[in-house]
Chain A
Amino acid sequence: MLRYLRLYAAFVRFSFSKAMVFRLDFSFRIVMDLIYYAVNLAFYGVITSHSEQLAGWDSGQVRIFVSGYLLLDAIAMTLFSTNLWMFSKAVNTGELDYHLVRPVSSLFFLSLREFAANSFVNLLMAAGIMAWAIGSYSESFSAGRVILYLALILNGTLLYYVLQMLTAVPVFWTQSGMGLQGLFHQMARLMERPDGVFRGWSRKIVTIFVPFALMASFPARVLFSAEVDYGLLLHLAAVTAAFWGILLFVWARGLRAYSSASS
């Protein structure tokens, strides 16, 4: 574990060195994410200015929910999204070969080797937006509840990673990952809706089969409820563990099917 932490620290140092080489690109990505944050906050700001409640949440709660998925998105962008975008190219061009001969977990190496140093600035901004959303809420939360909320957002990030990776790994068999990854990005928008808007079968889908509602919406629900809902926590843990297990299984099968590329 300690070795992997040390290695991750090396990845971060290395990625910062790389990012600094391209100064202009470094600043463009910051601007790009700033626009994304502003659009999302404004979108829900407009809705809540015309309606007192949205799926059972008032404007302050909606702001916290939005800050939750913005933080999740920033963590994903900083830690692993760049790696997952490059994954299908690595499989098709045979770049994966060198990763597979390194004495490190291949899943760890491929998912985390590129730390998006320019997104790190956005991560700080997203954390600031969350601090502002929680701080400006009409009621105060206990420190324990806020820590639990942050832990659940991290769990949501893990789930987001697992789902994104599950749509990337089939490239071992399909050779083209564009369609599935496009589907993932469309479906990921479900994360940006309060789970209260989903009813009946659609609720089952977003809470069990493609559990985007578990990423930011359920954590917000845990934060707002008067008592901790242990059933909800158990559901979160069970779904995350199940998807993690599926990913490990599919990953092992994918590596078996890997045929590299001719030289």
Chain B
Amino acid sequence: MIHVEHLSKSFRVFQKDPGFRGSLRSLFKRKWIEKHALKDLNLHVGPGEIVGLVGANGAGKTTAVKMLAGIIHPTSGTANVLGHTPWQRKNAFRREIALLMGQKAQLWWDLPAGDCFELLRDIYSLPEAEFRKTLGSLTAMLGVEGQLRTQIRRLSLGERMKMEIIAALLHQPKVVFLDEPTIGLDLTAQRAVRKFLLEYRASHRPAMILTSHYMEDIEQLCERIVILREGEKVFDGPLADIQRAHSVRKVVIARLGEPAAGSEAAWERFELPAAWASAVRRTAEEVRYSVDRGRVAEAASRMLQGMPVADLSIEEEDISNLIEALLHRRPQ
């Protein structure tokens, strides 16, 4: 559904020296720099797939989404979304896609959501019966049936975002771009949005591209992620592959029982060699070590012998730490 080849985007950015003198100089002589927002992106997304675009601020996630939604033109490269070149902005293309930006409202602030949806019905020329059916189903899934007559400005942030989601999906798009859909929401609202997106994906099978800074969004919604660093793709694959390819450590967790009489001081001094293990957490109830993969068995054995262990478990390293490490690793 989405095929991207060598997509790049550069912006010319004006640079001004600070202060009044800098302003005066810039009036006569401008300094411009070329900023490469996205470099040579290749990407393929199929129906029913949710791909997470992950990266630090300014990594090029939103630029990529805006090019694929047809809002901005690329500097070079090609993209094919549902058989269309997005930036040609054909109506047939725009009828089949949806864009939701968590940081920008598309609904009209002073009117109830119901009125805004009516206008969108006219914009997308949706048949009345189909519109009512979709609206009913979306409002029920998101639990906002009772809020349709309330002015948007009077809704809570969570309710507003739910209305924004409905506005984006009313025309049942085949491709959905979600740019930080849970930003600013409390945990309950985040969970509700994620649950809805999974249900919607299951029932409608759209291709979705999601950007988010919340790892829970990525972990729970995306089977596959693309990591961007300074405009370049540094990883593209299933979440599990990140662990396989980049995780060099595992976490060994010991839950502690009652120590034998007189042994407190001995086990409290217990340490694993710093060369291949480091303590992540140490309390009276639990000790966690991050251990080199090749030393896991040895670490477990030493911990069982050296501490009053009631229960021992071995886990993969937290995915968010791995992504974080990938994001900040300098390009080779």
Contact = CB atoms under 8 A, between A and B. Distances in A.
Contacts of B180: 263
B182 to A, nearest CB: 14
Nearest to B98: A101
B62 A263 contact: yes
Contacts of A260: 66, 71-72
Contacts of B101: 97-98, 263
Nearest to B108: A18
A10 B122 contact: yes
Nearest to A3: B125
Dominant secondary structure of chain A at its interface with chain B: helix
Contacts of B95: 103
A263 B118 CA distance: 27
B115 A17 contact: yes
A256 B73 contact: yes
A94 interface: yes
B70 A100 contact: yes
Given A102-B94, A104-B91, A106-B89, A14 B73 contact: no
B12 to A, nearest CB: 9
B219 interface: no
A101 B62 CA distance: 15
Interface string A222-263: 000000000000000000000000000000000110111011
> Contact residue range for chain B?
20 to 34
Interface of A: 3, 6-7, 10-11, 14, 17-18, 21-22, 94-98, 100-104, 106, 255-256, 258-260, 262-263
Contacts of B118: 10, 14
Contacts of B104: 94-95, 97-98, 263
Interface in B50-89: 58, 62, 66, 69-73, 89
A101 B123 contact: no
Contacts of B70: 100-101
B179 A14 contact: no
B119 A101 contact: no
B91 A103 contact: yes
Interface in B150-165: none
A106 to B, nearest CB: 7
Contacts of A100: 70-71, 89
Contacts of B91: 103-104
B62 A262 contact: yes
Contacts of B73: 256, 258
Given A7-B123, A258-B71, A101 B97 contact: yes
B58 to A, nearest CB: 8
A17 B70 CA distance: 31
Nearest to B122: A10
B300 interface: no
B135 interface: no
B148 interface: no
Nearest to A98: B106
A236 B303 CA distance: 92
B258 interface: no
Contacts of A11: 119
A176 B95 CA distance: 32
A7 B99 contact: no
A102 B72 CA distance: 14
A151 B106 CA distance: 37
Contacts of A14: 108, 111, 115, 118-119
A21 B110 contact: yes
A263 B61 CA distance: 10
Q: Which 5 A-B pairs have the closest CB atoms?
A: A10-B122, A103-B94, A103-B91, A98-B106, A263-B103
Interface centre among A7, A104, A263 (most CB of B within 10 A): A263
